[in-house]
Amino acid sequence: MNVLKIYEKAPAKINLMLDVLHKRNDGFHEVEMIMTMVDLADRLEFSELPRDTIFISSQAGYIPLDEKNLAFQAARLIKERYDVRSGVHIHLDKKIPVAAGLAGGSSDAAATLRGLNRLWRLNIPDQELQELGAELGSDVPFCITGGTALATGRGEKLTPIPNPPQCWVILAKPPINVSTADVYGRFRSDKIVRHPSAAKMEEAIRNQSFAEVCGQMGNVLEDVTLKLYPEVLHLKEAMIKLGADGVLMSGSGPTVFGLVSKESKVARIYNGLRGFCKEVYAVRMLT
Ligand SMILES: C[C@](O)(CO)[C@H](O)COP(=O)(O)OP(=O)(O)OC[C@H]1O[C@@H](n2ccc(N)nc2=O)[C@H](O)[C@@H]1O
Ligand SMILES: Nc1ncnc2c1ncn2[C@@H]1O[C@H](COP(=O)(O)OP(=O)(O)OP(=O)(O)O)[C@@H](O)[C@H]1O
């Protein structure tokens, strides 16, 4: 019997700017972020199963393969909501570092919603997939369509904007685990001296000015994570010293990324970071 197999790519996201406006009554924070995707991706393979079950496997030994996996949760949600009685085996080829601030799990969840929509021929429009995704996590709706977007609300209200000018992105993840809930929990808006501007970042992108984009980068969550984990601050300083054009922490951290326009600089920055940080990636912006 021929088993139907389909594939989806789940790219990592970076936050070019992230501002937190205030804490809401539901415990989430109202944010303004501009997010885009980079060419560092997990690959998901979906195969039909004869039994009505969800089975997750992965080459990575360090992620949960049960109902704690966001891909499992996405599959269960779409099955329940659309009353699907078929089973699926999802194989996750993990490339995105875990708990890194790069939305690895969220992108896997989004890829699962897209993949199962195709595998089971459900014809769910993207907007409905995004609404489903919002039930799984704040970054999931953006990961459904990707591209570049302004995200507001708790991150689920999306306005697409053009892609930033193409460049290299160097990502470095220190060997620490950062809890997103903990970082938001410790955030105090009255301590923030300079808020990054979504409007100015959007304008920089619309102007396709790489220098302006670098100038408008900012993430207020750095105020929490850099104090809690000085190694993230050191990584940022090292990347600036090595010559990256714009350097920022992604999401709640701990990954730090540097934007670099000249290819000739990439190897030097990469090798300089590899001297003291094991997880370093040099990739292109996904445009
Ligand atoms: C830091 C970012 O990754 C930036 O893109 C996102 O804002 C967080 O997205 P995420 O990991 O998908 O977050 P979720 O899984 O929805 O939420 C994890 C926890 O982070 C906190 N949280 C998250 C998003 C938000 N706008 N306000 C919050 O306070 C909440 O305590 C929540 O329980
Ligand atoms: N498919 C998955 N891939 C990676 N982690 C997963 C997955 N499913 C569940 N997890 C769990 O989710 C937690 C967060 O992992 P993830 O890589 O999504 O974090 P993140 O990059 O910080 O996300 P975000 O940027 O959205 O906050 C980890 O503790 C991990 O064990």
Complex-level ipTM: 0.97
Query: Do 147 and 194 fall into the same domain?
Result: no
Tokens of 96: 């995105």
| Cα–Cα distance, 16 to 218 (Å, whole number) | 7
Report the candidate in 1, 2, 4, 3 with the shortest Cα–Cα distance to residue 118: 4
Query: Do 144 and 35 fall into the same domain?
Result: yes
Q: What are phi and psi of 212, to 5 degrees?
A: -65, -40
Instruction: Tell me if residue 139 is catalytic.
Output: yes
DSSP lists the bridge partners of residue 9 as 43
How far away, in angstroms, is 51 Cα from ligand 1 center?
Answer: 35
Query: Do 137 and 52 fall into the same domain?
Result: yes
Tokens of 21: 């406006």
Q: Which of 14, 18, 35, 138 to mutate to test the pocket of ligand 1 (most atoms within 8 A of CB)?
A: 138
Query: Do 98 and 29 fall into the same domain?
Result: yes
Last residue of one domain, picked from the residues 138, 160, 182: 160
Per-residue model confidence (pLDDT) at position 287:
83
Tokens of 145: 């369509």
Tokens of 247: 């350097």
Smallest CA separation from ligand 2 atom 3, residue = 105
Query: Do 181 and 238 fall into the same domain?
Result: yes
Per-residue pLDDT tens digits for 43-69: 999 999 999 999 999 999 889 999 999
Per-residue model confidence (pLDDT) at position 119:
97
Tokens of 272: 């300089």
CATH number of the domain within which 222 lies: 3.30.70.890
Per-residue model confidence (pLDDT) at position 192:
85
How many C-beta atoms lie closer than 10 Å to residue 59's C-beta? 9
Per-residue model confidence (pLDDT) at position 61:
84
Query: Do 279 and 148 fall into the same domain?
Result: no
Contact 134, 141 (CB under 8 A): yes
Domains identified in the chain, total number: 2
Query: Do 145 and 31 fall into the same domain?
Result: yes
Query: Do 201 and 91 fall into the same domain?
Result: no
| Cα–Cα distance, 269 to 181 (Å, whole number) | 31
Residues making up the annotated binding site for ATP are 97-107
Smallest CA separation from ligand 2 atom 14, residue = 99
Q: Mapping DSSP to helix (H, G, I), strand (E, B) and coil, where does residue 228 land? A: helix
Last residue of one domain, picked from the residues 111, 144, 160: 160
Report the candidate in 192, 184, 164, 10 with the shortest Cα–Cα distance to residue 102: 10
Report the candidate in 156, 197, 129 with the shortest Cα–Cα distance to residue 28: 156
Q: Which of 98, 138, 184 to mutate to test the pocket of ligand 2 (most atoms within 8 A of CB)?
A: 98
Query: Do 99 and 116 fall into the same domain?
Result: yes
Q: Which of 69, 157, 180 to mutate to test the pocket of ligand 1 (most atoms within 8 A of CB)?
A: 180
- For the chain, list residues with pLDDT below 70: 1
Q: Which residues contact 162 (CB under 8 A, 6 or more apart)?
A: 148, 205, 206, 208
Ligand nearest to the CA of 33: 1
How far away, in angstroms, is 267 Cα from ligand 1 center?
Answer: 33
Last residue of one domain, picked from the residues 141, 160, 179: 160
Report the candidate in 231, 126, 161, 173 with the shortest Cα–Cα distance to residue 16: 161
Strands 54-58 and 87-93: parallel
Q: Which residues span the domain enclosing 250?
A: 168-284
Query: Do 75 and 152 fall into the same domain?
Result: yes
Per-residue model confidence (pLDDT) at position 1:
64
184 CB under 6 A from ligand 1?
A: yes
Per-residue model confidence (pLDDT) at position 190:
86
Say how many Å lie between the first and final Cα of the chain, rounded.
39
Per-residue pLDDT tens digits for 207-228: 999 999 999 999 999 999 999 9
CB-based pocket (< 6 A), ligand 2: 63-64, 68-71, 92, 98-106, 108, 139, 180, 251-252
Residues making up the annotated binding site are 97-107
Query: Do 21 and 137 fall into the same domain?
Result: yes
Query: Do 114 and 24 fall into the same domain?
Result: yes
CATH number of the domain within which 21 lies: 3.30.230.10
